[in-house]
């Protein structure tokens, strides 16, 4: 009988889909569709990986609470694993989180603590510092995806090998958004170990630090940073889950371009992703446009646009100046 032991048995082996309508000419562009995972995002891969690593080293013990700062997807990945392993979960999130993600987390029994979005990472009100305070006060386990090496290693062990197998090792470029850095880094390391000629391009929102850091080797000054509306990628510092030595180039995408790409992709390929997926697919197409026909560009769509419907509508976009007219 084809009956899985639990929901996590559906994790991974997500499809790779050619985007010939979105990018019809020149190099082949294809996207790894991560909303086929059990929690509908790429972060499902690291939720269970971080929990299992902590169980192995004794950091996480039966009956403990897990607390994690998240933009939502890692929280849900952790929630699924926590349910199946018997842990309580608290998620801290900035006000930027979509209503749909909060509802999903709460439906899975997680407690969600909303924190201000316009404060520095070291401010005690920030969602990272609030998570640390809960850890200290309650003796909770904090996976901390931004520092946890099980994050990029999960992609080194799963996502990277899947992409290599699905492309028969023929890909020439790997283009992905940079949030914690785990996805792009783990995959990049695996691919470059098999073929050092694979070029890795990171995608960063305008106003984030990664592109500046890649070019200058240091962080920009605080006045060079600004808020951006793209969900799930970008950062105000460089976390330890990012492995810059495997990244060849980082390009920036602005809010308007990312959101336009979301709808263009949906209306050309019938694939509906979120704004970080929009940024990634736009950047990947720009890369593909400069390449010969025999090149193969792979990008990754981290989640579904369904969990951003309160944002992916004309009213929300027009209020923020992201729509023409």
**Any idea which residues carry the catalytic annotation?**
43
Please provide the distance, in angstroms rounded to a whole number, between the alpha carbons at the two ends of the chain: 56
CA angle at residue 79 from 228 to 298, to 5 degrees? 55
Annotate 110-124 with b (16+ C-beta within 10 A) or e (fewer): bebeebeeeeeeeee
What's the CA gap between 114 and 98, in Å, rounded? Answer: 11
Q: Contact, 124 vs 133, CB < 8 A?
A: yes
Contact 30, 298 (CB under 8 A): yes
Dist. CA 253–CA 260, nearest whole Å: 11
Count of C-beta atoms within a 10 Å radius of residue 127: 26
Q: Residues 29, 22: contact at Cβ < 8 Å?
A: yes
């Amino acid at each position: 009988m084809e009956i899985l032991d639990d929901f996590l048995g559906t994790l991974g082996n997500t499809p790779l889909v050619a985007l010939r309508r979105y990018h019809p000419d020149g190099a082949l562009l294809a996207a790894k569709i991560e909303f086929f995972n059990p929690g509908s995002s790429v972060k499902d891969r690291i939720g269970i990986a971080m929990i299992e690593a902590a169980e192995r080293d004794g950091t996480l013990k039966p009956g403990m609470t897990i607390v994690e700062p998240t933009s939502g997807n890692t929280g849900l990945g952790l929630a699924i694993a926590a349910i199946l392993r018997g842990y309580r979960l608290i998620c801290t999130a900035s006000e930027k989180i979509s209503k749909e993600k909060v509802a999903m987390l709460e439906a899975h029994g997680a407690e969600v603590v909303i924190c201000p979005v316009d404060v520095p990472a070291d401010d005690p009100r920030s969602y990272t510092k609030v998570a640390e305070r809960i850890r200290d006060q309650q003796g909770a386990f904090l996976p901390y995806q931004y520092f946890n090496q099980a994050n990029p290693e999960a992609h080194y062990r799963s996502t990277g090998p899947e992409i290599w197998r699905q492309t028969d090792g023929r890909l020439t470029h790997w283009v992905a958004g940079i949030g914690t850095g785990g996805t792009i880094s783990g995959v990049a390391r695996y691919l470059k170990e098999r073929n050092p000629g694979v070029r890795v391009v990171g995608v960063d929102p305008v106003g984030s630090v990664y592109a500046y850091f890649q070019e200058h080797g240091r962080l920009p000054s605080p006045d060079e940073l600004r808020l951006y509306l793209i969900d799930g990628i970008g950062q105000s510092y460089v976390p330890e889950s990012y492995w810059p030595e495997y990244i060849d180039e980082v390009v920036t995408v602005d809010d308007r371009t990312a959101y336009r790409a979301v709808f263009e992709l949906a209306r050309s390929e019938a694939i509906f992703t979120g704004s970080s997926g929009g940024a990634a697919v736009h950047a990947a197409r720009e890369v593909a446009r400069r390449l010969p026909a025999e090149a193969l560009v792979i990008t990754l769509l981290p989640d579904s646009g369904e969990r951003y419907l309160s944002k992916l509508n004309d009213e929300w976009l027009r209020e923020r100046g992201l729509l023409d007219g």
